[in-house]
Structure 1
Amino acid sequence: MSGRRERRRDVATAIFADEIGLQFGIYGEFRLWSAYQPIFAPEGGVLKAVAVEGLIEPRRIAEPVTPSIFFDGIPAADRLFVETMCRMLHLGNYRNIGVEGLTLFFNYNPLINDHLGRALAEIRLMTRRLGDFELEPGLLVCEITEQAADDHVLASLVREMRRDGIRIAIDDFGTGHSTEARINLLEPDIVKIDGGWFAELCRHAAAERFFRPLVGMLHERGAKVLVEGIEHAQHLRVALEGGVDLLQGFHLARPAPAGVIFKDEPLSVDALLDANNKIVPLHQRR
């Protein structure tokens, strides 16, 4: 117990705020900043921003570092500490988005918290602090990443979060361990289709015909379908014709650091489907 208490104190003392109130974390020589990528829902002829996914932008001496390089370099003993810090940063910076009512997606790696008691303690700590962040549990979606995990631990963790009002998403569906078996186990509220898998699907002439039954099957299971990695007009076309509920990707909007002005005007589907269209800017810096 004392070890867990010490870890929690360390996370709190590793988070700071700059002169305008933006929170950042310090881990070794790195500074960690929250960024948020919008998630859109189709509504008539437009896409409306309804959620954001919290992502980390690591910097070393003010120079950006690729997140995969940063996370791959974290020793196993520090991974729980860093994941907890990242989650707290996303919660703490949520108010700096400047748009109320957006759902916040955050990632959860089941391999890091593979001890049931420790995993439940971390989630309970988070939910107890939501009031400090001016967040309601119903605004949160926990994305279970595709790593292998103990089914008992994972199912218990999901029950705990659902009891608190947090929704559950399965990330990277179509790859690794994000399979139909995991859907049967967790009964997610949202299934995120892996962007790389979806991009390969879109290379086929009959992509829409193959994709629509998958979306229908997931809807029958009671899950909404989110396609990530929308990088081209063709990706958007296949996703929309497949009947998906939510969309995310660089063709719609890139992640933007906390504190950047969020422009929540709906995006025109017709403009995005124009083959000559480039990335649509959603944000502008203050």
Structure 2
Amino acid sequence: MSPDEQESPVARAIAVDEIGLSFGILGAFRLKTTYQPIFGRLGEMLVPVAMSAAVRIERGGKPAPEDALSTLTPEELALLPRIGRRLAVRNLAHVGCEEPDFDLMLGLSGDVEVLAAEVDVLLEEAGSAGLARDRICFELSGLVGASAFGLLAAGLERLGASYALDLETASNLPGGSGVQIEPPVVRVPPAWTRRIVGEAVLLRVFRLLVTTLKRRGAAVQIEGIEDAAQLRAAIAAGADRLQGDYLSPPALAGTDFDDSPRAFADLIGAPANVVPLSA
């Protein structure tokens, strides 16, 4: 990391505890990293392949209520997500299992031109932590529509990183950017998951959409899986990756995590040979 970056507001806001976990200090708040595993399909098993990261904001050792952030200045509020992203990269090695070896999904938000410089720093940090660039996936849905969005997506590909869009965004990409956008990962957020699996007609249409997306080279990630019925529907729809509290809830970095494969039969309450596995 360059000397300038070591003196940046983000770097100055980060400290390390006695076991090596990084945390952020922002006013009276402490920022910690939570991870939720993303599972890939391997035969009749689910295997953790990635982690999505979020920030847990604490005050006095307890989660801070959302309205407590009103005490932060606009400058501090702008720093919060940037600190969270840096913590997520630094703390991935502390996912609590014997040999953590996962991809990382990070949400990007803010000014696209400023983010380009931040991405460089995050990828440099990842390299220092032994995480290859192709194992970082940036979620870009909130940036679509910005004038430099297409250039950012193309730049990530040139740098060797990946990116994701949510289903609605990927289905309604604006034209005219001059850059072809083909997201490697398409997310189905929890609200969409609940709606799709709750309506038979939507589920049939969704299966066709998943097939189309996969033919274009995208991995489809269904999130917010809350029970066995939603898991069965996600599997039947042909999802490549699955996430939700039913499979494993978010946990703080450093918390013990069972990274052993999960059998479909154990999770959906049906014999493995009747699980509808689509290509």
TM-score range, shorter chain: 0.7 to 0.9
Checking the alignment, whether the CA contact within 8 Å between 2:105 and 2:139 is kept in structure 1 is yes
The residue number in structure 2 matching 1:210 is 205
Q: How does 1:194-273 map to 2 (within 5 A)?
A: 194-273=189-268
Checking the alignment, whether the CA contact within 8 Å between 1:189 and 1:222 is kept in structure 2 is yes
Paired letter, 2:42: E
The residue number in structure 2 matching 1:283 is none
Paired letter, 1:101: D
TM-score normalized by the length of structure 2: 0.85
Paired letter, 2:183: P
Tell whether 2:152 aligns with 1:161.
Answer: no
Checking the alignment, whether the CA contact within 8 Å between 1:202 and 1:235 is kept in structure 2 is yes
Paired letter, 1:129: E
Paired letter, 1:32: L
Partner secondary structure for residue 198 of structure 2 = coil
Shift of 1:33: 0.6
Paired letter, 1:86: G
Shift of 1:101: 2.8
Shift of 1:16: 0.8
Checking the alignment, whether the CA contact within 8 Å between 1:190 and 1:225 is kept in structure 2 is yes
Partner secondary structure for residue 21 of structure 1 = coil
**Structure 1 unpaired stretches of 5+:** 276-286
The verdict on how the C-alpha distance between 1:106 and 1:8 changes in structure 2, with shifts beyond 3 A counting, is farther
Checking the alignment, whether the CA contact within 8 Å between 1:7 and 1:81 is kept in structure 2 is no
Of 177, 190, 198, 2:185 maps to 190
* Cα distance in structure 1, aligned partners of 2:238 and 2:70: 36
Tell whether 2:138 aligns with 1:142.
Answer: yes
* Cα distance in structure 2, aligned partners of 1:158 and 1:136: 18
Paired letter, 2:86: M
Paired letter, 1:44: G
The residue number in structure 1 matching 2:128 is 132
* Cα distance in structure 1, aligned partners of 2:217 and 2:57: 36
Checking the alignment, whether the CA contact within 8 Å between 1:130 and 1:136 is kept in structure 2 is yes
Checking the alignment, whether the CA contact within 8 Å between 2:144 and 2:173 is kept in structure 1 is no
Paired letter, 1:37: Q
Checking the alignment, whether the CA contact within 8 Å between 1:194 and 1:228 is kept in structure 2 is yes
Partner secondary structure for residue 259 of structure 2 = coil
Tell whether 2:179 aligns with 1:179.
Answer: no
Paired letter, 1:107: G
The residue number in structure 2 matching 1:94 is 92
Paired letter, 1:102: F
Paired letter, 2:61: A
* Cα distance in structure 2, aligned partners of 1:191 and 1:128: 25
* Cα distance in structure 1, aligned partners of 2:226 and 2:67: 22
Tell whether 2:35 aligns with 1:36.
Answer: yes
Partner secondary structure for residue 221 of structure 2 = strand
Checking the alignment, whether the CA contact within 8 Å between 2:89 and 2:125 is kept in structure 1 is no
Paired letter, 2:171: T
Paired letter, 2:107: N
The verdict on how the C-alpha distance between 1:274 and 1:246 changes in structure 2, with shifts beyond 3 A counting, is same
Tell whether 2:120 aligns with 1:121.
Answer: no
Shift of 1:128: 2.6
Aligned length: 262
Shift of 1:6: 8.3
Shift of 1:78: 3.7
Shift of 1:147: 5.5
Checking the alignment, whether the CA contact within 8 Å between 2:90 and 2:125 is kept in structure 1 is no
- Moved segments of 4+, more than 4 Å: 5-8, 68-76, 182-185
- Note the aligned Cα RMSD (angstroms): 2.5
Partner secondary structure for residue 200 of structure 2 = coil
CA deviations over 1:164-207 (Å, ceiling 9, x no partner): 11111113x23xx4533269953110000121012012112345
Partner secondary structure for residue 237 of structure 1 = helix
Paired letter, 2:125: R
**Structure 2 unpaired stretches of 5+:** 271-279
